[in-house]
């Protein structure tokens, strides 16, 4: 399963996911930055997506 979280601002939301233990994935397939891939503390991917 993969989760996408739609947020008003990725930049404003990123500190919360990093504080919860997530980290940015090494590979970012969105060259325009419309979404950012993270890994949870166990290594499962999820995305923050801009609207």
pLDDT band at 9 (very low <50, low <70, confident <90, very high): very high
**Where are the chain's structural domains?**
3-50
pTM of the model: 0.90
Q: What is the pLDDT of residues 18-29, one digit of tens each?
A: 999 999 999 999
Contact 33, 10 (CB under 8 A): yes
Buried b (16+ CB within 10 A) or exposed e, 25-44: eeeeeeeeeebbbbeeeeee
Element of type H or E holding 11: helix 10-19
pLDDT band at 1 (very low <50, low <70, confident <90, very high): confident
- The sign of the CA dihedral 35, 1, 25, 5 is positive
State the CATH architecture for 3-50: Roll (3.10)
> How far is it, in rounded angstroms, from Cα 5 to Cα 40?
13
């Amino acid at each position: 399963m993969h989760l996408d979280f739609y947020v008003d601002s990725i930049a404003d939301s990123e500190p919360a996911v990093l504080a919860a233990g997530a980290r940015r994935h090494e590979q970012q397939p969105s060259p325009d930055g419309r979404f950012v891939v993270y890994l949870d503390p166990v290594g499962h991917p999820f995305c923050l997506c801009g609207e």
